[in-house]
Amino acid sequence: MSGSRLTIGEGEPLAAKCQTEIEVKHGVGLHARPSVTFTRLAKSFPCSIEVAVNGSDIWLNGKSIIKIMGARIRKGSILRIRADGILAEEAIRALKELIERNFDEDKKHGRTA
Amino acid sequence: MKIRSMAEPLKLQATGASPGIASGQVYLAERSALVSMPVAPGASGPGTLADAVETAIAALQHLADRVDGESRDIIDFQIEVLRDPTIAEMTEKRVSAGEHTVFAWVAAIDAHIAELEDADEEEVRARAVDILDIKNRVLGNLSGTPVEDFPAGSIFVGKDIEPSRFLGHDWSRGGGIVLFGGSASGHVALLARAKFIPMVVGCGRFDVATDSQVRIDGDAGTVFLDTQAEGISSAPARGQSRTDAAAINHGKLQTSDGVPILLSINVNDPWEIASIDAATAAGIGLLRSEFAVRSLADTANEDKQFQIYRRALEWAGGKPVTIRMLDIGGDKPLAGLEDDSGAMGMRGIRLLLARPEIARVQVRALLRAAPFGNLRVLLPMVTFPSEIDDMRRIFAEETGLLLRRKIAHRLPQIGMMVEVPAAALMLDTFDNAEFFSFGTNDLAQYLAASARDGSDLSAYRDKAAPAVVRLITQAMTLAAGKPVSICGDMAGDPSALPALLAAGLRHFSVAPAQRPAIGSALVGLNADGTRAAGD
């Protein structure tokens, strides 16, 4: 799990820009359920959250289920996640941990698609 | 006029718009019809769509609480799509470009459905259905706000009554309509005649208590107030007492001298066909889709329209079903569409081409329904051949999209209403129309320069009948042998039949209620319109 965190501090402890990079290591990719888990968590933060896949310079809205599902995130994909605004650091930390926990898929039953 | 309780019932003489006698308790409509349309102007702005989305989310959450596993995953996904900020942004962008909110949202959702359908993985493609489901759920919420209905069996009294209100009402217990204004050739009058609902129009404003009794005579055009005080017994409502004299074999008749004639029916309310025996008609000569698709939300609802059209095609069992594309505007406004400018303005195909987002939804529904029978699509208010070219282009584009999405469809025959005098005079220039249908109500109003929604001018339109017949006779010679029919009120008037036969018409389409009488009249005439010998 590779991760790098870059904080452009503004002196403001809450409002900030923050970015990380992480590899998706699990086969589930980001289909319906993991995508829902991801965007719901993203939406719980007031800052903007954007995602770029495999070095792409197209940043997608991380709170948008249709963007996240359309991003074709697969096992081995490298995700860059960036946040801007209030609670940006917390958002990045939480989303990174969610991916590291395999989107909490192991705790759930049923469909894995 | 001020009316009080008097010793004898007060009689108002007005104009009969639909025959029959009805009596019952008055239901006094407070406001003008257009104010109380189901979707009030502006109601389809962002607020209302947002409400419909929130209602859908609440219903889905309620469902989600009671299921688990896979079902719950699907519902969670659907809720997340309804809350998707990208869809909200796409909708806003389209709205600021001038699109209607509902259509803008549908277009954003549709774009996402198409994206999913294009995915490589089966699991992703399968999600398209989930989104289609929420689209229909939201549209259902939008159209699920009907105007206040009035009690079954009562007599509606008001300035006007909107078609959606008429169609949404339960008429099974009788009742009738009295309008202060209105017109016998207006669209609600047409609906009332088709359904045997007595109706009187143009009585002027009068005061009447909501719970008082009233009796109306749609033949004589009279209204009796306070009938209970006098104890006037109500005559039984007129039923289908006419004998079906013509031996009608799937609407195939012969004139007295043996010339084949087709008799089809006009359909306003697609539910009404369920009670009609398909063997009595040569098919549906005119399905007025604007009465089936009653709200702006319905015009955006492809699936609902598809189901309606499919039902009509299945009912007809292979016989032609002519569905006229939405003829909104003029005296059939659709609330929420502000670009309506009267009978000579933005209506029919003009409105459809100016609002292609409305046309495209209907075109897709028609293309998908076509494989279920013999569909013919009729374009309303055509003035120039270029309008048909433009609509054909939309059909071609939507065909391409359905093909790409591997959705079953078929291109139907496309024809035109002949109801604008300029089109009737130039009928030989319409190479791109596969069939013609005369709309005599509009032809009469345009020829006699007297709007059909004004009751004062009905005499002008009646007197213009010979001019209408002359125009039809001339247009028949320009039709180049293509199928021609007539679906206007004139076809349902037995006294007009000789002239129409003489003009060369062989296919008539009338309201189901008029079919037996018109059938009987036709078999008693020769093809040249003369009365059969010995008749």
Structural domain contains residue A113: no
Decide if B112 and A111 are in contact by the 8 Å CB cutoff: no
Look up A26 and say whether it is catalytic: no
CA distance B135 to B139: 6
By the CB < 8 Å criterion, does B528 face chain A? Answer: no
Predicted local distance difference test score (pLDDT) of residue B6: 44
Nearest chain B CA: its distance from A71 CA (Å): 11
Nearest to A66 among B70, B74, B112 (CB): B112
pLDDT beyond 80 at B90: yes
By the CB < 8 Å criterion, does B135 face chain A? Answer: no
Structure tokens at B36: 């109380």
Q: Which residues contact B365 (CB under 8 A, 6 or more apart)?
A: B302, B303, B305, B306, B309
Structural domain contains residue B390: yes
Structural domain contains residue A67: yes
**Contact list, B77 vs chain A (CB under 8 Å):** 32-33, 35-36, 65
Q: B214 phi and psi, to 5 degrees?
A: -145, 150
Q: Which carries the bigger pLDDT value, residue B425 or residue B128?
A: B425
Query: How many residue pairs bridge chain A and chain B with CB atoms within 8 Å of each other?
Result: 50
**Contact list, B81 vs chain A (CB under 8 Å):** 65-66
What does the mean pLDDT of chain A come to? Answer: 81
Q: Which of B61, B74, B80, B86 to mutate to test the interface with A (most CBs of A within 10 A)?
A: B80
Nearest to A65 among B70, B73, B84 (CB): B84
Decide if B81 and A43 are in contact by the 8 Å CB cutoff: no
pLDDT beyond 80 at B7: no
Of the residues B215, B230, B245, which one is the last residue of a structural domain?
A: B230
Write out the DSSP string of B178-199.
EESS--TTSHHHHHHHHTT--E
Of the residues B230, B262, B290, which one is the last residue of a structural domain?
A: B230
Structural domain contains residue B14: yes
Structural domain contains residue B244: no
Structural domain contains residue B246: no
Q: Are residues B496 and B363 in the same domain?
A: yes
**Contact list, B116 vs chain A (CB under 8 Å):** 69
Q: Are residues B479 and B440 in the same domain?
A: yes
pTM over 0.90: no
Decide if B73 and A33 are in contact by the 8 Å CB cutoff: yes
Q: Are residues B304 and B407 in the same domain?
A: yes
Q: Which of B48-52, B107-111, B431-435 has the lowest mean pLDDT?
A: B48-52
Encode burial over A41-77: b for 16+ CB neighbours within 10 A, e otherwise.
bbbebebbbbbbbeeeeebbbbbbbbbbbbbebbeeb
Nearest chain A CA: its distance from B87 CA (Å): 8
Structural domain contains residue A49: yes
Residue reference for tokens 């940043």: A59
Q: Are residues B107 and B223 in the same domain?
A: no
CA distance B491 to B378: 18
**Contact list, A36 vs chain B (CB under 8 Å):** 73, 76-77, 80
By the CB < 8 Å criterion, does B355 face chain A? Answer: no
Q: Which residues contact B294 (CB under 8 A, 6 or more apart)?
A: B38, B143, B163, B164, B167, B168
Q: Which of A75-89, B162-176, B265-279, B377-391 has the lowest mean pLDDT?
A: B162-176
pLDDT beyond 80 at B76: yes
Structural domain contains residue B39: no
If one counts every other C-beta atom within 10 angstroms of the C-beta of residue B479, the result is 17
Q: Which of A9-13, A25-29, B185-189 has the lowest mean pLDDT?
A: A9-13
Nearest CA in chain B to A38: B80
Instruction: Give the torsion through C-alpha atoms of B399, B302, B270, B30, to 10 deg.
Output: -140
Nearest to B86 among A67, A111, A113 (CB): A67
**Contact list, B112 vs chain A (CB under 8 Å):** 66
If one counts every other C-beta atom within 10 angstroms of the C-beta of residue B400, the result is 10
Q: Are residues B438 and B451 in the same domain?
A: yes
Residue reference for tokens 């093809």: B527
Encode burial over B486-523: b for 16+ CB neighbours within 10 A, e otherwise.
bbbbbbbbeebbbbbbbbbbbbbbbbbbbbbbbbbbbb
Q: Which residues of A touch B (CB under 8 A)?
A: 31-33, 35-36, 39-40, 43, 61, 63-67, 69-70, 109-111, 113
Structural domain contains residue B193: yes
CATH number at residue B316: 3.20.20.60
Q: Which residues contact B481 (CB under 8 A, 6 or more apart)?
A: none
Q: B534 falls in which pLDDT band (50, 70, 90)?
A: low
Q: Give the residue among B238, B195, B230 at the shortest CA–CA distance from B214.
A: B230
Q: What percent of chain B has pLDDT over 90?
A: 44
Q: What is the mean pLDDT of residues B446-464?
A: 76
Residue reference for tokens 């759930």: A108
The answer to whether the CB of B372 falls within 8 A of the CB of B313 is: yes
In chain A, how many domains are there?
1
CA distance B341 to B35: 17
Nearest CA in chain B to A31: B124
Structural domain contains residue B247: no
The answer to whether the CB of B166 falls within 8 A of the CB of B188 is: yes
B151-161 pLDDT per residue, tens: 888 999 988 77
Give the active site residue among A3, A21, A23, A31.
Answer: A31
Q: Which residues contact B526 (CB under 8 A, 6 or more apart)?
A: B255, B256, B257, B259, B501, B532
Instruction: Calculate the CA B293 to chain-centre distance.
Output: 7
Q: Are residues B209 and B308 in the same domain?
A: no
Q: Are residues B337 and B454 in the same domain?
A: yes
Say yes or no: ipTM exceeds 0.90: no
For residue A75, give its domain range.
Answer: 6-105
Q: Give the residue among B256, B255, B323 at the shortest CA–CA distance from B289.
A: B323
Predicted local distance difference test score (pLDDT) of residue B38: 35
pLDDT beyond 70 at B258: yes
Q: Which of A13-17, A48-52, A108-112 has the lowest mean pLDDT?
A: A108-112
Q: Which residues contact B127 (CB under 8 A, 6 or more apart)?
A: A32, A69, B77, B116
Q: Which of A3-17, B312-326, B518-532 has the lowest mean pLDDT?
A: A3-17
Predicted local distance difference test score (pLDDT) of residue B128: 80
Structural domain contains residue A68: yes
Q: Which amino acid is at B358?
A: I
B179-214 pLDDT per residue, tens: 988 777 666 787 788 788 999 988 888 878 777 889
What does the mean pLDDT of chain B come to? Answer: 83
Q: Are residues B417 and B511 in the same domain?
A: yes
Predicted local distance difference test score (pLDDT) of residue B236: 39
Write out the DSSP string of B508-534.
EEE-TTTHHHHHHHHHTB-TTSPBPTT
By the CB < 8 Å criterion, does B206 face chain A? Answer: no
Q: Which of B381-395, B420-434, B513-527 has the lowest mean pLDDT?
A: B513-527
Predicted local distance difference test score (pLDDT) of residue B244: 54
CA distance A86 to B503: 79
Predicted local distance difference test score (pLDDT) of residue B36: 29
For chain A, list the strands marked E by DSSP. 6-8, 15-23, 48-53, 60-61, 78-86
pLDDT beyond 50 at B45: no
pLDDT beyond 60 at B1: no
Q: Which residues contact B115 (CB under 8 A, 6 or more apart)?
A: A66, A70
Predicted local distance difference test score (pLDDT) of residue B247: 45
CA distance B285 to B282: 8
Predicted local distance difference test score (pLDDT) of residue A4: 43
Predicted local distance difference test score (pLDDT) of residue B9: 64
Q: Are residues B184 and B135 in the same domain?
A: no
Structural domain contains residue A111: no
What's the burial of B62, exposed, middle or buried (CB within 10 Å: 0-12/13-18/19+)?
exposed
**Contact list, B91 vs chain A (CB under 8 Å):** none
By the CB < 8 Å criterion, does B148 face chain A? Answer: no
For residue B433, give its domain range.
Answer: 253-523
The answer to whether the CB of B48 falls within 8 A of the CB of B223 is: no
Partners of B376 in beta bridges: B322, B413
Predicted local distance difference test score (pLDDT) of residue B453: 65
Predicted local distance difference test score (pLDDT) of residue B248: 63
Q: Are residues B81 and B153 in the same domain?
A: no
The answer to whether the CB of B505 falls within 8 A of the CB of B486 is: yes
**Contact list, B115 vs chain A (CB under 8 Å):** 66, 70
Nearest chain B CA: its distance from A84 CA (Å): 17
Predicted local distance difference test score (pLDDT) of residue B239: 39
Nearest to B80 among A65, A70, A110 (CB): A65
Q: Are residues B221 and B170 in the same domain?
A: yes
CA distance B531 to A99: 87
Q: Are residues B375 and B472 in the same domain?
A: yes
In chain B, how many domains are there?
3
CATH number at residue B199: 3.50.30.10
Q: Give the residue among B347, B332, B394 at the shortest CA–CA distance from B366.
A: B394
B420-440 pLDDT per residue, tens: 999 999 999 999 999 999 999
For strand B436-438 and strand B484-486, is the pairing parallel, antiparallel, or unpaired?
parallel
Q: B462 falls in which pLDDT band (50, 70, 90)?
A: confident
Decide if A110 and B80 are in contact by the 8 Å CB cutoff: no
pLDDT beyond 60 at A48: yes
CATH number at residue A78: 3.30.1340.10
